[in-house]
């Protein structure tokens, strides 16, 4: 059980880093999201972010869904870390 929890915590941490990279790269409008490695990053992160985009649509051109996505991911990571080994 300890290996499973450790693996899940590592996955949540790694996925959080991918989301941070994805959000930071959206500040650069010249990036073509159809070229690699950006297309792979979008394919990995967009399904998760789309869950939250359906809850919070972009307001005034600003996409606030990553805030909720980070909150949910950190909450899940916190619950996993709180599980006793």
Whether this prediction's pTM lies above 0.75 is answered by yes
Please give the pLDDT value at position 59: 84
Give the residue among 35, 32, 29, 33 at the shortest CA–CA distance from 49.
33
For the chain, residues with pLDDT lower than 70 are 1, 85
pLDDT tens digit sequence for 48-59: 999 999 998 888
State how far the Cα of 13 lies from the Cα of 19, in Å rounded to an integer.
Answer: 10
């Amino acid at each position: 059980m300890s290996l499973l929890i450790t693996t899940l915590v590592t996955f949540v941490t790694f996925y959080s880093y991918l989301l941070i990279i994805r959000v930071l790269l959206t500040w650069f409008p010249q990036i073509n999201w159809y070229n690699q490695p950006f297309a792979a990053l979008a394919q990995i992160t967009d399904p998760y972010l789309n869950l939250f985009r359906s809850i919070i649509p972009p307001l005034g051109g600003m996409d606030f869904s990553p805030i909720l996505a980070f909150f949910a991911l950190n909450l899940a990571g916190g619950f996993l870390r709180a599980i006793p080994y």
